[in-house]
Every structure is written in C-alpha cells, then in structure tokens.
Structure 1
Amino acid sequence: MPKSKSNLIQSVDRALRILECFSRRENELGVTEIANKLDLHKSTTFGILSTLENKGYLNQNPENGKYKLGLKLFELGKLVEYGMDLRTSSLPYLKKLVDKYGETAHLAMRDGNQVIYIDKVEGERGIKMSSQVGKRAYMYCTGVGKAILAFMPEKYMEETMKNIEFYSFTPNTIMNATDLKKELRKIRERKYCIDNEEIEVGLRCVAAPIMDYNGEAIGSVSVSGPTSRMDKKKIDLISRDLKNVIMKISETLGYKNV
C-alpha cells in the first residue's frame, strides 16, 4: 500500500525529486532542464539547487553551469554500505558474547555527532533499556559513542567535541570537554571504554571500537547489563573477549593491526 502524501513536506519532497532526476545517462543537468522535468518554476528550482550545492549534495560545473551529484551522497551511501557489512560481519560475534555472558550486546555506527544502533542481541537475563535498532544516542555519555570518539583522527575528534552540547542524564554523566578529553585518553590507553551509569542509572556497559581498512573507527560493539552483575571482575573478562571480537570484525573490513 503506498504511503499517504498528506504529511509530506513540499520543499523536502522537491529536493529529493531533484536528486532523483540524475542518472548515468543524464549525470549533468541544468536549471531549466530540471525545472521542466519536474514542472517547477525556474526560480524555485534554482533556490533548491543552490541549497543542495551548499550542503555538498550537488556540484556545479563552472564551465557550463550544470549540476551533478556531489560527494555528500557518496559519503552517505558508504555509511549504508558499511552498515550492511558491519551487521553481517558482526552478528555471529554479538551472539557469542551474549551466549557467554547473558547480557545484551549492541552494534553501533557513528552518524555525525551521534551514534546510531544498527543491531542488538538481547541476553536471556537482559534488562529493559532504552536502546533499540535505529535509535540515535549521544557520543559523550554512551559506551558505543565514547569508543568511537576516542579513536577518531585527532582533527575530527576535536571538531566533533566542539559541537557537543552536554546534557545531564545521571549524576555520572560527563558534563564538559575537559573531563571528556581525560576519559578519552584513558580509553585509548586500555583499548576499551566503560559507561558507568552515564546514560541510565543502574546500567553499566563495556565497549570497544571497530576499525576500517583506513584504521579509522567506524563503529563499536558493547555489552551492557545491570550494575549488580557488571562488577569489575566481569568487566575485565568481557573486555578481553570484546577486544578479540572487534579485532576479528575489523579484519573482515580490511583492517590490519600493524
């Protein structure tokens, strides 16, 4: 059944229709061509094209003034590709962690200044938590987020941290850039991170980053459980297995630990 069009936002719909005009045969199009294809006013079309160009979704050829698809779409497409590869490569390892420890395992990817959960395997003793596949979470106060942030290239890490707005979720939530930088240094030293009731009271998790063929952190795996069960001894055991797991997943993506 087709979805109702009653709740479509017209400007967004038009922008997406413009992007869909391009094809292998017609990889460059002018303002008039696009306006005619979509039966839009030329001034409206030009305004949308200018916005898409400003955001990197389109590039304008300076020689003929025509537009073509931009690298931003390639970047987003690679995120989808990585997500598919990650889920396929990671699921068996997530299940093994859950079978061994009885807690919940998550797989997440970076998406801008946040992370998005792309898979979740619940243990038999798993407790109810707010995480769910497709949900976004903050990087600075979650295990999956901090694991990625700590192993990002320095330039991108600093850029990301400048855009963080700190919110307090629990008494343990990190609330400033200075404390976060100290935490990230610790994470890099031990190769894994701990979320000690920073996003939810009563919840503790261990997480480690997944590296791609460029040696960059593109995702992370975590094991979460109640603080009553996730004591130091169990965290030490999980962290050792987790580091082995993320290394195996990273290797499937072309990462070489040299």
Structure 2
Amino acid sequence: MRMDDKIETPNSAVTRSLSLIEVVGLSEKPVTLNDLAERIDMPRATLHRLCQRLVEEGFLFREPDRRHYSVGPRLFKMGLTIVGSGVGTQRHAILKQVVDVTRETCNFVTRSGCDAIYLARVESDWPLRVHLEPGSRVPLHCTASGKLLLAHMDVQQRQKLLASLTFERFTPATIMSADALESEFAEILRDGYSTDREEFMIGLIAIAVPVFDRNGRVVASLACHAPKARMTLDDSKRYVPVLQSAARKLAQTF
C-alpha cells in the first residue's frame, strides 16, 4: 500500500481503529490529526475520539507537543513479537557478534515517546550483569542510548520533549537539567557516540553509537554496557569501531 493512498473505512469501530493504527504504524514520523484526516476517510471528531481511546489503551502515544501521535508501547511490543522470528533473528545474530568481541552485553535501542525501548538484546556470559528483556523501557536522560537518540532529534521536537520529561535522579551522576543535556548533545554529535558514566546505575558504564536508515536519519542506537569493575569508560571507547560496523549491518534490517 502506498502512503499517499487514501483509506476508505467501512462503518465499523474495529475497522476504523485498525485503519488508524495502520497509518500511524507505517508513518516515518509522528502524525497529526490533520495528517490522519488526509489519509483516512473518517470524520475528524471520530478520528479524535479513536485517537484518545487508542492512547488510553496503549496502542498509540501522544507526543509531548500534544499534537502528534506515534506508536504506543502496547503496539510496539506486539510488533516486536511479530518480527521476532525474522528480522529479530538477524538482529540477534549481529548483536551476538559484538558480544563475542566485547564480552559484554549489547542492546539495540530506539525511542518510544519519552522512553528508550529495547528492540533486541544479547547478554554477556558473566554471572554479574543487568538483566532486561527486549521491550523493556529505560529513561532517555541518563542512558547512553537515550542521550544519543535525543541528540539526533530535530531541535524543536527535542526541546518540547525535554520540557515534558521528569528528570528523575537515579545516581549522583544523573544529569538533572535540559541545559546540561544540551551541552552533552553537542559532544555526542561531535564524537559520534554517547556514554553513560554511572548515570543510570551506580557501577555501570555504557557506550552507544547511532544506527542510520537509508535516508540518513538516526532511527536507533547500538549500545554496549558493563560493570565498571570489568570495563572502564576508556576501555569501552576502543570498541567504537566494532559498534559502528555492527550498526551499519543493523541499518540493513530496516
């Protein structure tokens, strides 16, 4: 189906909801009510009610600007399950190659609303490790992947999102203001990678690189994290070329 084709919806609440989910799910960026009205043959008032209900149920997410809608956590988790036997297997194999080199846990992460969400993850063999499943959500402001994804956002959208964030302190090193984050974003864009200096968990460090789509947009991140007792932040930077090579392979899975 081409994205410029208009969807005619039979008079059924289920069909209308599925049509709305289809348009939002296939969109490359968050959509407004006007965008949906152009794509779906449905009264605006009905569209608005359906969007509200789907947000309440977790199938859609209302962006911080309150005008745009994107895929919600419930729909996102369903998508992860569906692709798990195909693309998910390919991504797992790429992450496993990185883990074999670094001997530490690797994550494939994207943004979902105000959180970073794990698309795929391969654990290290060490008994001491942080266990999180694909689909797990972590904060944006204090994780290597979260900060990297924020750094590559459109500036205006990022500022709106940051204005809506709750800056929860997880450790003494957690960054607690948008201004402090903006300073770090400049470093991330300059260096090509992001780090977590025990900002999310005491004793845990991480490094992340961007994953680009075919249009050059950053759509995800690839991160490696480890206890500081096993890997220092300087040690982790040695693996940036390994992560970047794997990120290029992951880009082919989109």
TM-score normalised to structure 2 length: 0.68
CA distance in 1, matches of 2:169, 2:87: 31
Worse-superposed segment, 164-173 or 231-240: 231-240
| 3-state DSSP of counterpart to 1:124 | coil
Counterpart of 1:51 in structure 2: which amino acid? R
CA distance in 2, matches of 1:145, 1:109: 8
Conserved 8 A contact 2:140-2:150: yes
CA distance in 2, matches of 1:144, 1:126: 24
Structure 1: segments with no counterpart, 5+ residues: 1-16, 31-45, 58-70, 254-258
CA distance in 1, matches of 2:142, 2:87: 23
- Give the corresponding residue for 1:52: 50
Q: Structure 1 residues 171 and 218 mapped into 2: Cα distance closer, same or farther (>3 Å)?
A: same
Q: How many residues align?
A: 205
CA distance in 2, matches of 1:22, 1:168: 38
Q: Structure 1 residues 202 and 89 mapped into 2: Cα distance closer, same or farther (>3 Å)?
A: same
| RMSD, aligned CA | 3.4
Shift of 1:54: 6.2
- Give the corresponding residue for 1:18: 13
Shift of 1:250: 2.0
Conserved 8 A contact 1:152-1:216: no
CA distance in 1, matches of 2:106, 2:209: 12
Conserved 8 A contact 1:191-1:243: no
Shift of 1:95: 0.4
Conserved 8 A contact 2:144-2:195: yes
| 3-state DSSP of counterpart to 1:244 | helix
Counterpart of 1:52 in structure 2: which amino acid? L
CA distance in 2, matches of 1:103, 1:242: 12
Conserved 8 A contact 1:150-1:187: yes
- Give the corresponding residue for 2:109: 108
CA distance in 2, matches of 1:130, 1:174: 23
CA distance in 1, matches of 2:198, 2:131: 13
Shift of 1:169: 0.3
Identical-pair percentage: 26
CA distance in 2, matches of 1:237, 1:230: 11
Question: Deviations for 1:128-147, whole angstroms, at most 9, x for unmatched residues?
Answer: 32532221111111112112
Q: Structure 1 residues 97 and 23 mapped into 2: Cα distance closer, same or farther (>3 Å)?
A: closer
